[in-house]
Chains A and B, each alone.
Chain A
Amino acid sequence: MNLFFKISKKKLLMFLILMFICLGAVIFTANDYFLYNKTIAKVTDVTQTLDSSSQALINSTEDYYTQRLTATVKNGEHKGKQVTIINKYASSLVTDEKYAKGDCLFIDLKEKSDGTLKAVSTGFKRDVYAVGVVALFVFAIVLVGGRKGALSVMSVIFNMLIFYIAIELYFKGIDLFLLCCAASVIFSVGSLSMVSGLNKKTAAAVISSLCGTTVTIALAYIVLKITGGSGVRFDQMQYLIRPYEVIFISELLIGGLGAIMDISITMSSSMSELIDKDSSISFDSLRKSGVEIGKDIMGTMTNVLFFTYVCGCIPLIVLAMRNDTRFSDIMKNYLNLEIVRSFVGSIGIVITIPIAIFISSGMLKGKDAQNEKRGEA
């Protein structure tokens, strides 16, 4: 594979710059102690003792340890001083933390009357990992996708910005669902035109994705109203502090939107490809080809949504199973909610296929018909 020898010097330079930026970001966050008001200490030495072992659930043992951490304070008025932190943990680490040499912790420092420092750990410094994976992602996507990859990153940033503004406005008192509807329109127009440019193909995709989303959400809302949400424990939704209904419907709206947009743009691009190759193609054969393409993407897309949603509750299910919780309760409390989410998204995917076929074949073929007329005149 001598592919990489053909890369021009300019490109090579760009990649080197990119690599330096990504590495620089990681190294910076690994040493950004001065940015924090909280005191941070870096563990330099760990001694650990086994306190006790006990019989845990399902024929297993749980070991209890005490760690004595020696750490150097990295910022604040006590910078450079050594402190000792005591940390206790149980071997399953369900809620505990096990620290190792090199870990950075947030600590509370108290100066005792005799001048010695008393330190208590209040949290783990994770920012370097968050920045690290982002750097890895940006580096990989630009390396693989080049300009288009960079554009995808821009589109992600743009979408997150819109989402942030929507949440800000929600706390100003505007209805969340209305905000999400407005945001969906901006999301669709913005990201689809970034992916495939400003043209009629994109317009068809935007209209199809908005129609698909509307139908899906209407359907989900009707089902939610008719069944009263039976079989799903909405009060088990994580981090819920406000009435669930509006938040849940808004989540469904945004959650399915990406997949629906994906289907819409795939359908409209292939429709326009087909029309470009043979402008006299009939609506009927367009519809047939569209359905064939739809069948191909339907299966994998529905699974993308399913696993994306469901994986988040795996730790909770493991914990519940270990505690001998009845299977039906696990389904009801944790899994059904995610399954409902992924089913609504899947309905969106499947229903958008005929909608996108209809709208794109109408709009794109209309364009060609007009062009032909102009050509004749």
Chain B
Amino acid sequence: MELVLAGILLILMIAVGGKRGAKTFAALYINIFTLIFTVFLIACGVNAIAATLIGCAVIGIVILFLINGVNIKTVTAFAAIAAVLIAMTAVMLYIGSGSHIQGFADENTDEICWYSAEIGLDMRQVALAMVLMGLIGAIVDTAIAITSALYEVYENNPHLNMKELFISGMNIGKDILGTTTNTLLFAYIGGFMTLVIWFKAYEYSFSEIINSKVFCQEFLQIVSSGVGCVLMIPTASVFMAYALTHKSRSEQNV
């Protein structure tokens, strides 16, 4: 089934996007491969946080440089992604281990009963890997949206200084906020539906839901993706405003 869908997707992407469509499709598959490889490294015992950060860097490089080419927009976006990713790692390291979202809950017994739980691997780090992987797509999207829009602004008004550029980046960001939060919200609700039906069918109370591990795993993931996107707006604006004004100064010197 997935191959038929992949075929349809490839045809559509080429029909709409031509050569770039084909590249986009290739990038999607490279990302699937990168993700599997990262998870494989984690399963082999490589430090999960290090493996995830490297995996995220590769994914960022693929999405930015393969699809959009190497230029000031993508390089700045990459720097902003690295900054936000490190900040989110720090935040989630604290919240993730504190909230005990590692591993599996009683509700997952059916899925994991086949496996030995003695895996000799810290599941707290795996949980962190899960959260960080979940937000990489969204922060890359926000980063490139801001840097390319700011680039257009600067092209049309090259006299703008760093502060004006930053403010205009924030304004662009405000417009993105509404749609990005919706994209994330619905994508997660789509995956959430069986769980909600489960809660309802087994008559979980509100306090049971909000304290349960399965709910918190999903919920922390959703909200941290949202936080990552929001953080990305000022970060990408500052970085791009700096890069644009800095670039023009060095060009003037030459």
Residues of chain A at the chain B interface (Cβ within 8 Å):
1, 3, 35-36, 38, 54, 56-58, 60-62, 90-97, 106, 123-127, 129-130, 132-134, 136-137, 140-141, 144-146, 148-149, 151-152, 155-156, 159-160, 163, 167, 170-171, 187, 191, 194-196, 219-220, 223-224, 226-232, 236-242, 247, 250-259, 261-262, 265-266, 291, 294-312, 314-323, 325, 335-336, 339-341, 343-347, 350-351, 353-354
Q: B52 CB to closest chain A CB, in angstroms?
A: 9
Contact with A along B118-150 (1 / 0, CB 8 A): 111111101101110111111011001100100
A130-B219, A319-B115 known; A3+B197 contact, CB < 8 A? no
Chain B residues with CB under 8 A of A305: 137, 183, 187
A303 with B63: CB separation less than 8 A: yes
User: Smallest CB–CB gap between B11 and chain A, Å?
Assistant: 10
**B85 contacts partner chain A, Cβ-Cβ < 8 Å:** no
Binding site secondary structure of chain A = helix
Asked if B158 is at the interface of the complex by the 8 Å CB criterion, the answer is: no
B144 touches A347 (CB 8 A): no
Contact with A along B171-193 (1 / 0, CB 8 A): 00111011111111111111101
List the interface of chain B (C-beta within 8 A of A): 1-6, 8-9, 12-13, 16-18, 20-21, 23-24, 27-28, 31-32, 35-36, 39-40, 42-45, 59, 63, 67-68, 91, 95, 98-104, 107-108, 111-112, 114-124, 126-127, 129-131, 133-138, 140-141, 144-145, 148, 163, 166-167, 170, 173-175, 177-191, 193-198, 200-201, 207, 210-221, 223-227, 230-231, 233-234
Contact A299 to B63, CB < 8 A, known contacts A60-B45, A125-B211, A130-B216: yes
Residue of A261, A262, A315 with highest tally of chain B CB at under 10 A = A315
CB-nearest residue of chain A to B19: A295
> How far is B24's CA from A305's CA once the two chains are assembled, in angstroms?
14
Contact of B138 among A136, A160, A299, A308 (CB under 8 A): A308
Q: Which residue of A lies closest to B134 (CB)?
A: A311
Give the distance to chain A from B219, nearest Cβ to Cβ, in Å: 6
Check A240–B194 contact: CB distance below 8 A: yes
Beyond A92-B123, A239-B195, A306-B32, whether A127 also contacts B225 by CB under 8 A is no
Q: Give me 15 A-to-B residue pairs in the complex whose CB atoms sit less than 8 angstroms apart, sorted by A's number.
A: A3-B167, A62-B119, A127-B210, A144-B230, A238-B111, A238-B195, A251-B191, A258-B187, A296-B148, A300-B145, A304-B183, A307-B133, A307-B138, A340-B5, A343-B5
Do the beta carbons of A321 and B188 come within 8 Å of each other? no
B118 contacts A148, CB within 8 Å?
Answer: no
Contact among A60, A126, A232, A247 for B121, CB-based, below 8 A: A60
In the complex, what residue of chain A is closest to B116 when comparing beta carbons? A323
Evaluate contact between A144 and B63: CB separation under 8 angstroms.
no
**B130 A312 Cβ-Cβ under 8 A:** yes
Cβ of B148 and Cβ of A36 under 8 Å apart? no
The answer to whether A148 and B163 touch across the interface, beta carbons within 8 angstroms, is no
Q: Are B126 and A315 in contact (CB under 8 A)?
A: yes
Please state if B21 and A295 are interface contacts (CB–CB under 8 Å).
yes
Nearest neighbor of A335 in chain B, beta-carbon distance: B36
Chain A residue numbers with a CB within 8 Å of B231 are 140
CB distance from A232 to the nearest CB of B (A): 5
Q: How far is the CA of A252 from the CA of B166 in the complex (A)?
A: 38
* B131 and A315 form a contact (CB under 8 A): no
Residue of B nearest to A62 (CB): B118
- Report the bound CA distance from A61 to B121 in whole Å: 9
A101 to B101, CA, bound (A): 17
Q: With a CB–CB cut-off of 8 A, which chain A residues contact B67?
A: 299-300
- Complex CA–CA separation, A125 to B35 (angstroms): 32
User: Are B189's CB and A255's CB within 8 A?
Assistant: yes
Residue from A61, A134, A242, A340 in contact with B120 in the complex, judged by beta carbons closer than 8 Å = A61
Given A96-B103, A303-B63, A318-B43 in contact, is the A251-B118 Cβ separation under 8 Å? no
Separation in Å of the B193 CB from the closest CB of chain A? 5
B188 touches which one: A92, A308, A344 (CB < 8 A)?
A: A308
Q: Is the pair B201, A298 in contact by a Cβ cutoff of 8 Å?
A: no
Alpha-carbon distance A249/B44, docked complex (angstroms): 36
Contacts of B104 in A (CB 8 A): 94-95, 315-316, 319
User: In the complex, are the beta carbons of A133 and B95 less than 8 A apart?
Assistant: yes
B220 touches A130 (CB 8 A): yes
Minimal beta-carbon separation of B77 from chain A (angstroms):
10
Take A56-B118, A303-B28, A307-B137 as given contacts and tell me if A124 and B211 are in contact as well, using a CB distance cutoff of 8 Å. Answer: yes
Say which residue of B4, B122, B123, B137 sits within 8 Å of A303 (CB atoms): B137
- The residue from A171, A315, A351 contacting B200, defined by CB atoms under 8 A apart: A171
B188 to chain A, nearest CB (A): 7
CB pair A321–B43 under 8 Å, yes or no, is yes
CB distance A311 to B131 under 8 Å? yes
Residues of the A chain whose Cβ atoms lie less than 8 Å from the Cβ of B188: 308
Q: How far is the CB of A122 from the nearest CB of chain B, in Å?
A: 10
Which A-B residue pairs are the 4 nearest by beta carbons? A255-B190, A60-B120, A258-B186, A56-B120
Q: Is the CB of A148 within 8 A of B134?
A: no
Contact yes or no, B133 A310, CB < 8 A: yes
- Known contacts A60-B119, A343-B5; A239 and B190 CB within 8 A of each other: no
CB distance from A247 to the nearest CB of B (A): 6
Least Cβ distance of B250 to chain A in Å? 21
* Closest chain B CB from A139 CB (angstroms): 9
Nearest residue in B to A205 (C-beta to C-beta)? B179
Task: Provide the residues of chain A in CB contact with B134, threshold 8 Å.
Answer: 307-308, 311-312
CA distance A258 to B226 in the complex (A): 14
